[in-house]
Amino acid sequence: MLGLSLPALLNGQARAGVQPLPAAFGRAKACIFLFMWGGPAQHDTWDLKPAAPVEIRGEFNPIATRVPGIQICEHFPQLAQRTDQLAIIRSMTHGDVNHTSATHFLLTGQPPPTTTELRAQWPHMGSVLAHLGRGTGPLPPFVSMRPKLDNTVPRFVEQSQGQFAGWLGPVDDPFTIDHAPDRADYHVGDLKLPADVSEMRLSERRKLLASLNQQLAGGNAAFDAKAANEQRAFDLLTSSVSGRGAFDLTQESAKMRERYGLNPHGQSVLQARRLVERGVPLVTVFWPNDGIKNVSVYWDTHSRNFVDHKTRLMPVADQAFSALLDDLQARGMLDETLIVWSGEFGRTPKVGQRNSDAGAGRDGRDHWPNCFTTVLAGGGVRGGYVHGRSDRHAAFPAADPVAPVDLIASLYHLMGVPGDLLLHDTGDRPHRVRPGNAIRELFA
């Protein structure tokens, strides 16, 4: 009736056959997942090896941080002063060297299916939270920021697995924002009424639809859920504060926008904060391709590894992550907002080493899933802590290896999702949502 796509994207509390989540045992009410598409080099960011040969250790130096005994790269100077808030996992590991399928591991905890069929994939954590009825107000319960710039590589954006609801079905897919939020013409999907539909006319349509729904309602749970989603869509269209206003970054001060960074990633992270502040349970912020020709895309540094990490990758990530920590802390939100910083894998121990079909140039590192780093903060995470240890070349875990299934189980624990929770797919087959083991040492 409205000619809008929002009702199909929004998931209300009254989902068919799903009861509200029981009292949460986790502290986090929301999660911001900062996903570094391409795979950051662990040697050059969080897990430097200064005693290794030069072809291993690379060009960067470690620096002391706020926590004695913890060192990170010199090109993360702001984060170095905030390590008391971070849990750094240096022993992440899996076995997939492909970008698009390895993403499935980190977003869902599960290995990718043998088929690329969307509904065969495991659901993203945000889709699970949406399915459980998380979220308050008219905003979508799961949002993905995927800024597409002029030279975006489509296969990252369109083919990376684990981004959606998978076997839970399309109603729990994320509300996806592909427009770059640093642009002056930044806008979000269907959140603007058609020119020929005034708010008064919309209100009349809402009354008519409610009347029809009331006449057709007959205790059908699926119908009731559809009606609830339609009402949420109406609320979003008519709400300027918690609805459409959440996407208006001009409401932020120039100082705040500059603090996050006037670039696609920085403004995406700021947008994520505005959304969780207004009740959105999970926002994924995917790293954008910079739109710069003739350089490595995303964090996929098969060449120019040190130039790109030093100039276009780490400074932007350092600024946005540290701004988010400070902003959430100042607003009293950090204890209840979980932050995850990770890529789909790391990079080869040796510069120029070949480990995939893509290989690496003399100044690059190839894909390496055997050992890499993921960082957590807020939401009940133990700060000032390093979990696990890599070997002397950061090639393999030397202690406490962490598989993606256990990382995701830990995130679910922090978000209050029970370990024995079963959800059914579209064929009514039951699945245990978090089959891994939560890592207790990560919790405050």
Reduced to 3 states (helix: H, G, I; strand: E, B; else coil), residue 373 is: strand
Burial-class residue 312 by CB neighbours within 10 Å (0-12, 13-18, 19+).
Answer: middle
Distance CA 305, CA 313 (A): 10
- Angle formed at CA 13 by CA 336 and CA 173, multiple of 5 degrees: 80
Q: Count CB neighbours of 204 within 10 A.
A: 11
Read off the pTM: 0.88
Dihedral sign computed on CA atoms, order 142, 238, 16, 27: positive
pLDDT the model gives residue 21: 33
pLDDT digits (tens, 9 = 90+) for 230-275: 666 666 666 555 566 899 999 999 999 999 999 999 999 999 999 9
pLDDT the model gives residue 152: 79
Length of the chain equals 444
Q: Which two tokens stand for residue 1?
A: 């009736």
pLDDT the model gives residue 297: 82
**Low-confidence residues of the chain: pLDDT under 50:** 1-24, 221, 225
pLDDT digits (tens, 9 = 90+) for 344-358: 999 999 999 999 999
- The span from the first CA to the last CA of the chain, in angstroms, equals 49
Residue 211 CB contacts under 8 Å (≥ 6 apart), including other chains: none
Q: Which two tokens stand for residue 34?
A: 């900062």
pLDDT the model gives residue 139: 92
pLDDT the model gives residue 14: 40
Q: Which fold has domain 6-442?
A: Alkaline Phosphatase, subunit A (3.40.720)
* Letter string b/e over residues 363-397, b meaning 16 or more CB atoms within 10 A of that residue's CB: bbbbbbbbbbbbbbbbbbbbbbbbbbebbebbbeb
pLDDT the model gives residue 417: 93
